[in-house]
Amino acid sequence: MGDNLMQYQFPDDFWWGSASSAPQTEGESLGGAKSPTVWDHWFALQPGRFFQQVGPQDTSTFYRHWREDIALLKQTGHNSFRTSISWARLIPDGRGDANPQAAAFYNQVIDELLAQGITPFINLFHFDMPMAMQALGGWENRQVVDAYADYAAVCFELFGDRVRHWFTFNEPIVPVEGGYLYDFHYPNVVDFKRAATVAYHTMLAHASAVRHFRKSGQGGEIGIILNLTPSYPRSQHPADLAAANHADLLFNRSFLDPALRGHYPEELIALLKRYGQLPASQPGDDELLSGGIVDLLGINYYQPRRVQCRINQVNPDSPFMPEWLFDHYQMPGRKMNPWRGWEIYERGVYDILTNLRDNYHNPRCYISENGMGVEDELRFLRNGSIEDDYRIDFVREHLIWVHRALAEGSRCLGYHIWTFIDNWSWTNAYKNRYGLVQLDLATQRRTVKKSGRWFADAARNHGFDE
Ligand code: BG6
């Protein structure tokens, strides 16, 4: 640490970096380089579901620009960087041997990151189910759980000599909500029981990968990345408190408890039983799950959930949905991201960290995603570079709350912004831009935004002044 302490000084070994993912950046999707995922498949079927009909082929093409992008990571102060491996690229059929060309690509990326002094954080699954596996039923089929665990073992074998921070899943609840409850991911099913099965099998897959990792004897640590949305009740009325508790059970603790305690909350099991929605289990599952406690938790935080008790009666003949148990409400006077339509509540990150400290034995954790999406951001171009002071404020304000949580004993080890470079984002494509670096999709030109320069300074100083 230098002599001149910043007002908000973070530890010397704090992780400064960003998160990204293979399906959102690599490109070279098809044509032999990679087999199709659910995204390629869905885009071919229904391009109209994607913003401006821009699909997963239109990326920043990290597959070819990786060296240039790693140089930009360095320039923007990164000491660590998360991306994912594409299962469909590494093992095109979903099962079997690795494709040597794909293994060589990931080896080059990992080696170059290390050569530049940037610690690679590698995630194994970021919403990108290979179509070969979805054709078997995806996470509804336990054979896919086994295939995923084998794929994870291949990754540990190929890259585990250099990768020290592994993650089994990014936001595993999102494919559950998107694909099986609210119709914003393929396969566009709306069915709570199937969603609960997918969620359960995903955690079995997680625990199976953890088991392989520990058996492999590779050094390093393994974790999971969860999007946590603190549930705030509208009032202290018992009905509102119960509603917030239900939202917390369904959307946070359904993954957090197995990841940190090795089992599901009794209250959640009772709730699902009461509504006839408990997924089928098999002998040995509980033991498997209990071995899946993580070494490191990644926390993605974007916005809180504001909850009140249900105002209107539900029709008991309609299929069960989470909204039977609570309603959302808009808190008057809340601060909004005017472009993405999400609430900004910086203190939420502190509430998450102190909840983990007090109720989950203060696990090793870090902020694995936090960021500000801005629609039509190119309108803020000045002399070719985006002057994104709003993003700097967003990051700074969240970091101030992280700093406070650290001072109060949280074991938060770092902060990764979403994201490094403007990327393709599922059905939103390029609607909202999040990067420290702007991308001109047509020319593939990269330009560091003002936030990228701010971030570089904060990372190099391990802190900042107000
Ligand atoms: C996170 C995901 O939840 O949100 C990312 O991990 C995603 O993959 C990001 O890109 C932003 O989402 P959106 O919908 O605002 O583009």
Whether 109 maps to a domain, the answer reads yes
In testing the pocket of ligand 1, which one of 126, 343, 426 has its CB within 8 Å of the most ligand atoms?
426
Whether 450 maps to a domain, the answer reads yes
In testing the pocket of ligand 1, which one of 418, 420, 431 has its CB within 8 Å of the most ligand atoms?
418
Q: Which residues of the chain have pLDDT under 70?
A: 1-3, 30-32
In testing the pocket of ligand 1, which one of 121, 425, 431 has its CB within 8 Å of the most ligand atoms?
425
Distance between CA 185 and CA 234 in Å, rounded? 30
DSSP class per residue in 230-263: -EEESSSSHHHHHHHHHHHIIIIIHHHHHHHHSS
Q: What is the pLDDT of residue 192?
A: 98
Domain at 210, CATH number: 3.20.20.80
Q: What is the pLDDT of residue 450?
A: 98
Residue closest via CA to ligand 1's atom 11 equals: 425
Quote the ipTM score.
Answer: 0.96
Distance between CA 163 and CA 224 in Å, rounded? 15
CA of 51 from ligand 1 middle (Å) equals 14
Q: Model confidence over 335-361: pLDDT tens digits?
A: 999 988 899 999 999 999 999 999 999
Q: What is the pLDDT of residue 1?
A: 46
Q: What sign does the dihedral 386-434-57-125 (CA atoms) show?
A: positive
Mean pLDDT of the chain: 97
Strand pairing report for 365-369 and 296-300: parallel
Residue closest via CA to ligand 1's atom 9 equals: 425
Whether 67 maps to a domain, the answer reads yes
Whether 174 maps to a domain, the answer reads yes
CA of 258 from ligand 1 middle (Å) equals 24
Q: Model confidence over 233-259: pLDDT tens digits?
A: 999 999 999 999 999 999 999 999 999
Ligand 1 proximal residues by C-beta, below 6 Å: 21, 24, 170-171, 227, 300, 340, 369, 373, 418, 425, 428, 432
Q: What is the pLDDT of residue 4?
A: 77
Q: What is the pLDDT of residue 3?
A: 60
Residues forming the active site: 369
Scan for tokens 């009909």, then name that residue. Answer: 53
Query: Residue 352: what residue type?
Result: I
Whether 423 maps to a domain, the answer reads yes
Q: What is the pLDDT of residue 403?
A: 98
- The answer to whether the beta carbons of residues 305 and 231 sit under 8 Å apart is yes
Q: What is the pLDDT of residue 32?
A: 63
Query: Residue 87: what residue type?
Result: W
CA of 171 from ligand 1 middle (Å) equals 10
CA of 311 from ligand 1 middle (Å) equals 31
CA of 239 from ligand 1 middle (Å) equals 32
Domain ranges, residue 428 = 8-464
Spell out the residues 6+ positions from residue 251 whose beta carbon is closer than 8 angstroms to its own.
173, 229, 231, 305, 322
E strand or H helix at 225: strand 221-227
User: pTM of the entire structure?
Assistant: 0.98
Whether 2 maps to a domain, the answer reads no
Q: Model confidence over 14-50: pLDDT tens digits?
A: 999 999 999 999 998 766 679 999 999 999 999 999 9
Q: What is the pLDDT of residue 28?
A: 84
358 class by beta-carbon count within 10 Å (0-12 exposed, 13-18 middle, 19+ buried): exposed
CA of 425 from ligand 1 middle (Å) equals 6
Q: What is the pLDDT of residue 316?
A: 86
Residue closest via CA to ligand 1's atom 2 equals: 171
What residues are paired with 224 via a beta bridge?
297
User: Residue by residue, what is the 3-state secondary structure of 6-73?
Assistant: CCEECCCCCEEEEECCHHHHCCCCCCCCCCCEHHHHHHHHCHHHCHHHCCCCCCCCHHHHHHHHHHHH
| Number of compact structural domains in the chain | 1
Residue closest via CA to ligand 1's atom 12 equals: 425
Whether 1 maps to a domain, the answer reads no
| Phi, psi of 85, deg, nearest 5 | -95, 140
Whether 3 maps to a domain, the answer reads no
Q: Model confidence over 51-81: pLDDT tens digits?
A: 999 999 999 999 999 999 999 999 999 999 9
